[in-house]
Amino acid sequence: MMYAVIISVLLLIVLSMLRVNVLISILLAALSAGLIGGLSTIETMNMLISGMGGQAETALSVILLGIFAVMIKYSGITGILVKKLLKFMKGKRGVILLVIAGISSFSQNLVPVHIAFIPILIPPLLQLFDRMKIDRRGVATALTFGLKAPYIMIPAGYGLMFHQIIASEMKKYGMNISVSQLPLALLIPGIGMIVGLLIAVFITYRKEKVISSSKELENSLASIEISAASEVMPFNKQHVITLFAIVLSLGIQLYTHSLAIGALVGILAMFLGGVTPFFKGDEIVDDGMKMMGTIAFVLLIAAGYSTILKETGEISDLVAHTSNIIGGSKLFTSFIILSVGLLITMGIGTSFGTIPILAAVYVPLCLSVGFSPLATAALIGTASALGDAGSPASDSTIGPTIGLNADGRHNHIWDTCVPTFMHFNIPLFIFGMIAAFIL
């Protein structure tokens, strides 16, 4: 039955929108998928637990990066950073959002560290956002743009991997296209994401964010006091060691291709350099766990949920069933391919994993209705990318929440998932349809 995917993803979305804890939402969605797919409760839980190992390394990396971020904040260098940025960015909310989007974009291609930079860069800037009255939903949108748009448009780093998967899967099912042609095919959907970013920065979140609740006001004033205290701290040896630890951590990540090893090296450098006293170790680790623990478990359970959807064969049934009802209409074909891609990626939270699922059935279908290789690549690429923004289980939404919720004032669903869904999935869908008809 294909209905397990549809029902479980809709359940995940509804529960999340109702502010049910995201961990509970994903667990209930996973259980519903298994039970509807014919598994018993015990079989479903066993499959969920076995699938959690797929994100074990990422979850460990998130925890270690959280600890590293707390140590960087402890060094006092964040106050200096805030002071410098306030001096140059005062009143320029749109500019700082675009700068964040640009820095985030580097993480996919130029320096492919994915979400590793977020817990290091963003928590120190929360004070700055409060003082500049920046809407954190705008920051989340800018970060997600950088985590998503570059791999769609630019064939380097994670983008090269994305393009290679599309090209190889299309070739496997009878349609040849070179990796060098993919940027042209995906340029139009990428432009859609740029349009969504500009709308978010200069229209939706242009106004000042007013702090309404007394708790938010108290936290904001506390942040300002911390910032003011740190402004008088001169740049010293501890800050030099901190910068060295950050660069060393980044270098190790690039050399070993392991975020966990890079973060661990950064932590050791901070301890050995005397930036963080050894007797503060328990406190630092506890704070890091508080910041990142929930996100780590979301990643683990999301991996288990994805395993249930794929191993029960429900996703393959959904794709095959939709291909039987499309007929020969190009318009209907593009609409169904993009809609199914959105649904699948919202559930499993990965664009890269969606490509092989869609290509198996939809590449031959595109051949039969007369789509060109470029148009087919645009459809498959866009369909797999749809849902990466907006999915509660995606790195592209979990990453921004990791940084923006460091002080407990950023809701994963309403402040990250909903804004990114609106600003990126809608234009991606529209521009993907356009690409299919003009390529």
At 267-316, the pLDDT tens digits run 888 888 888 888 877 888 887 777 667 667 776 777 787 778 777 766 66
If one compares 197 and 154, the residue with the highest pLDDT of the two is 197
Q: What is the pLDDT of residue 299?
A: 67
As a whole number, mean pLDDT of residues 368-382 equals 87
Sign of CA dihedral 28, 30, 36, 38: negative
Sign of CA dihedral 187, 191, 193, 194: positive
DSSP structure string for 78-131: HHHHHHHHHHHHTT-HHHHHHHHHHHHHHTTTTS--GGGGHHHHHHHHHHHHHH
DSSP structure string for 205-228: T-S-----SHHHHHHHHHHHHHHH
Measured in degrees and rounded to the nearest 5, phi and psi for residue 209 equal -85, 115
In which band, very low, low, confident or very high, does the pLDDT at 228 lie, cut at 50, 70 and 90?
A: very low
Q: What is the pLDDT of residue 226?
A: 42
Domain holding 27, by residue range, is 3-438
Q: What is the pLDDT of residues 11-20, one digit of tens each?
A: 877 886 676 7
| Tokens linked to 335 | 């609409």
Give me the percent of the chain exceeding a pLDDT of 70.
Answer: 79
In the block, tokens 């030099």 appear at: 240
Let me know: does 138 contact 205? Beta carbons within 8 Å.
yes
Residue 181 has pLDDT above 90, yes or no: no
Q: What is the pLDDT of residues 93-141, one digit of tens each?
A: 788 888 888 888 877 666 556 676 787 778 878 877 888 888 899 999 9
If one compares 67 and 293, the residue with the highest pLDDT of the two is 67
Provide the domain count of the chain.
1
